[in-house]
Structure 1
């Protein structure tokens, strides 16, 4: 029986297949040694040949995965049981040609097959090609379609992906936002009904299209979690004093997302201790800058020490203007403070500016207000400011 099977296999493997002649197949072989090399390896080891062959079909699945698809041996061993029903390389070869046509590299193809071995069983003419046509009709480019496939191959081979993408493109506002979100949370492609429930609830909370797109892009897993959990997040947001429909509601919801009451309470206690705020001052600050809850304790500590000890701002002043705690300390506040202090010490400012204005205004405004007007009296000021923005402290900015 063993000899007869060996003769049949030798006769089968000596017949050229489409995989060795297809011009689309060659570029996606992992080491430019496609099926021909795999067959020579198989024929040189009859014992291994029989162990790598499906006992019912006679197709060397494991060797095909290694020699043609570029999988490692452990990957092929893991994947081959899912493909034991394959009788020939005909459909896998067609799938590989399809992937090559989308521009996937050999490494990309190996990643797709290792992640979803059954992708080799997908029909090309009646399955994959119509899906690509549908996605193209939604405005996705071939490179974007390939990116989507790499992110979730098992969801890609389902025809429902086209109506799902149609819905999500409207929700996210752009293909780039959507693909970035899917990269972080492929559950978007699996739980559309759950997403629809969460989106409907958030719209009841006052979210318009723009805010919804920004929220989904920044925290994509929020819309795939349970509705009850989203409702708890909204309740926590309102408990901070930020009402639904307000301009800060999205920021506040993002700040409390996936935090519980104890974590938020601990963060509030840290703000009170670090800045010396009362409960009333916390109640003033958080509705204006709820994203303080997302700042690290170390960052808050450094910013508060600089603003109170060096700049001389009072805790009550900061509580009324809490957004200044969120600006970059090294890249924004310190360099601007040094410029203003230099101008004051050299008598180049007629009035003391508001440090809140100094820190919050755009770069263009700051340079136009505090640097350009003094280029003759202080010709090195622009150079020193640029150096301080890069992390240096120029000699002229070292005050005694």
Structure 2
């Protein structure tokens, strides 16, 4: 009601300022024209607008409306009642709860002193995108400086471009919540050129959208040179393949030094460089694995399980599976079953099938299929094997090198 009253008073004030004077001029001039025509058209001369007769103050006043000064005073009073006091009040009016506001200020205390007009304009942009208070809390937790950035720079052009790129408002909202920096990246020098690079390489916008959602740092970390383009071609993946978008994006965002290190790491087990890139083409996510994990899995598969290294080229899952939770316990259980002389045995190709089974299916196929006493012995052995932790796991130091690949 307060906002409505203020709006009504503003309209009345505007009417009093502009239309009363124009109306008075119109009727006074009309009266003089009518009088002049009644006397003689030849002697008719319209007085100039700056003549005293046109500027008679009595013509501009009417008792039907309050004075302009009274209306302005009412507007100031109502604006004082409705005007937000600080940034917390702005956020509260926008829809944030007290708990949301405390989380936002805890993550970014400087928002307390932010100009309320600037904050309000940025919140209006977020409202147009469909972002609500819970989304804002997630965004500030992920990007504390988000509201301090110039998200209103090129906002109309940027949002129109993103709506065309993502195709729907829902997907755009999901992408921004996942990576709020889409609203802060340099639009003309970063976003548009990177999207153009992928389109030039044959990655359609339809394929690029899932990559932007799954890899939020795709835009700032993409670099392509002649060496990376050569790596992409050596994977042997065609543009029509479903793996192509993964190969291109992963090689584009990976450091060139990291790619070389991972290729050399696999070459130590007898693979040629071409075989390694063919492996990347069949299973691009191998590029996301750490060198330490690949070393440990390859050493166990080749050294302990006595499988040829080439098996990994056809079965890349051997590099992905957890060594302590899946590969090692199931291999040890296979040895236990062989020592007990019971069937079914886990040998040869059956070993690879057993490793790929879900936990429930593996237990049903090789443990609970036996008699109760044998099944109890096997399940106890299997659980104990799974409980064996990596040597010195508790004292392992987490060395953070930034971006993992």
Alignment TM-score, normalising by the size of structure 1 = 0.60
Q: Which runs of 5+ in 2 are unaligned?
A: 1-79, 391-405
Of the three residues 371, 378, 383, the one matched with 1:381 is 378
Q: Distance in 2 between matches of 1:206 and 1:383?
A: 53
Counterpart position of 1:217: 213
The structure-2 alpha-carbon separation of the partners of 1:264 and 1:128, relative to structure 1 and needing over 3 Å to count, comes to: closer
Q: Which runs of 5+ in 1 are unaligned?
A: 1-87, 394-400
Deviation (angstroms), 1:198: 2.9
Deviation (angstroms), 1:325: 1.7
**Alpha-carbon contact 1:188-1:224 (below 8 Å) kept:** no
Of the three residues 264, 281, 290, the one matched with 1:269 is 264
- Residues 176-325 of structure 1 aligned to structure 2 (within 5 Å): 176=174, 178-182=176-180, 186=181, 188-193=183-188, 194-203=190-199, 205-207=201-203, 211-224=207-220, 229=224, 233-273=228-268, 275-279=269-273, 281-282=275-276, 284-325=278-319
Deviation (angstroms), 1:113: 5.5
Residue aligned with 2:310, SS: helix
**Alpha-carbon contact 2:301-2:307 (below 8 Å) kept:** yes
Counterpart position of 2:27: none
Q: Distance in 1 between matches of 2:174 and 2:387?
A: 31
Residue aligned with 1:378, SS: helix
CA-to-partner distance for each residue in 1:30-67, whole Å, 9 max, x for gaps? xxxxxxxxxxxxxxxxxxxxxxxxxxxxxxxxxxxxxx
Deviation (angstroms), 1:383: 4.6
**Alpha-carbon contact 1:276-1:315 (below 8 Å) kept:** yes
Deviation (angstroms), 1:143: 1.0
Q: Distance in 2 between matches of 1:209 and 1:373?
A: 50
Q: Distance in 2 between matches of 1:181 and 1:129?
A: 17
Residue aligned with 1:313, SS: coil
Q: Distance in 2 between matches of 1:239 and 1:146?
A: 44
CA-to-partner distance for each residue in 1:182-241, whole Å, 9 max, x for gaps? 3xxx25533344434433443454546674344223432322457x63887555322333
Alignment TM-score, normalising by the size of structure 2 = 0.59
Say whether 1:331 aligns with 2:322.
Answer: no
Counterpart position of 2:3: none
The structure-2 alpha-carbon separation of the partners of 1:241 and 1:179, relative to structure 1 and needing over 3 Å to count, comes to: same
In our comparison, the structure showing a higher alpha carbon Rg is: 2
The structure-2 alpha-carbon separation of the partners of 1:263 and 1:162, relative to structure 1 and needing over 3 Å to count, comes to: closer
The structure-2 alpha-carbon separation of the partners of 1:390 and 1:163, relative to structure 1 and needing over 3 Å to count, comes to: farther
